[in-house]
Amino acid sequence: MFNKKAITPIIAVILLLMMVIAGAAAAFFWFNQMQSGLQGNTEVYSEGLSTKIAARIEIAEIDSFSSFNTTNSVYVANGTFYLKNVGSKTITINNSKISAILKDQDGTICSGTLDTYALNCTYGCNGTLSPKRIQKIFIEFSNADCGDIISGKYSINFDFGGDTATGTDFSVRYV
């Protein structure tokens, strides 16, 4: 009888150790699976971020002016934008994929792709822009869709087909 009572604590300790080991193993596999998932998501995010960083365009210089067209009795505004590729990836420049938003202090004046009547790119909006190169683009702002842009401060944002985006403030001068 004394031997039977002595075996019960030993069996209890063995069962307790087995439960602790099983719990630790389950926690290890759960943690390992979670860590693998997080690591995979981090790799996907960092690859996407590297691609976005590699594709960067800045507006190096702007020359914009407006004038009065006496034939049509409207103000005509134009902008020459010098785009510089400061990234390490060649960017495709295509006026049907470049969208722009033109704003003044009150909000959005007009927007669209650069092959529309409102924002018409007449020079430099097709081809590629290699790293460390500058591309000159010439945009006409239609007064029918954008209103009379005579003079003042404006801002413009370009999106290059989802590859990269850029924007800046600029002034239009009346000539």
pLDDT averages per 10-residue partition of the chain, 175 residues: 64 90 92 84 78 83 86 83 92 87 88 86 90 92 78 90 89 87
- Single-letter residue type at 24: A
- Residue 25 is inside which H or E element, if any? helix 2-54
The Cα 62–Cα 171 span in angstroms is 9
Mode of pairing for the β-strands spanning 152-160 and 165-174: antiparallel
Residue whose structure tokens are 């909000």: 107
Closest CA to 164 of 14, 31, 53: 53
The rounded distance, in Å, linking the Cα atoms of 49 and 55 is 10
pLDDT the model gives residue 8: 78
CATH 3.40.50.150 fits 57-174, yes or no: no
User: How far, CA to CA in Å, does 72 sit from each of 34, 54, 83, 100, 173?
Assistant: 67, 45, 31, 26, 20
Helix or strand or coil: residue 73?
coil
Q: Are 76 and 67 in contact (CB under 8 A)?
A: yes
DSSP string, 75-136: EEEEEEEEEEE-SSS-EEEETTTEEEEEEETTEEEEEEETBSSSEEEEES-EEEE-TT-EEE
